Amino acid sequence: MTKKIIIDCDPGIDDAIALGMALFDPRIEVLAITAVAGTVDADQATNNVTSIVTMLDPPKYPRIGKATPGEDAPVVDDSFLHGSDGLAECHFEPSGRQRQQTSEKVLSDLIEQYPNEVSVVCLGPLTNLARLIRWEPNLVPLIDQVIISGGTVHHPGNATPVAERNFYFDPKSAATVFASATTKTLVPLDVTEEVRFGVELLEQLPSAGTHMGSLLRKILPFAFRAAHQKLGEELIPLYDPTSLIAILEPDLFSWEPMAGKVETVGELTRGMTLFDQRLRRNWPMNLEVACEVEVDEVRDAIIRSMRYAGQKS
What average pLDDT does this structure show over 281-294? 97
Is residue 1's pLDDT more than 80? no
pLDDT for residue 201 is more than 90: yes
Long-range contacts, stretch 274-277, CB < 8 angstroms, 24+ apart: 275/153
Confidence of residue 74 (pLDDT cuts 50, 70, 90): low
Residue 194: pLDDT above 80? yes
Query: By the 8 A CB rule, do 98 and 66 touch?
Result: no
CATH code reported for the domain at 3-312: 3.90.245.10
> What φ, ψ does residue 12 adopt, rounded to 5°?
65, 135
Burial of 74 (0-12, 13-18, 19+ CB in 10 A): middle
**Cα radius of gyration (the chain):** 18
In this prediction, residues 165-193 reach a mean pLDDT of 96
pLDDT at position 98 over 70: no
51 contacts 119 by C-beta, under 8 angstroms: no
Please give the span between the terminal C-alpha atoms of the chain, in angstroms, as a whole number: 22
* Structural element, H or E, at residue 28: strand 28-35
Q: What is the pTM of this model?
A: 0.96
Lowest mean pLDDT among 36-50, 86-100, 168-182, 239-253: 86-100
Burial 221-243 (b: 16+ CB within 10 A, else e): ebbbebbeeeeeeeebbbbbbbb
| 303 exposure class (CB count in 10 Å sphere: 0-12, 13-18, 19+) | middle
Whether residue 97 is predicted with pLDDT greater than 90 in this model: the reply is no
CA distances from residue 163 to 189, 264, 276 in whole angstroms, order as listed: 10, 11, 17
Peptide bond into 96 cis (omega under 30): no
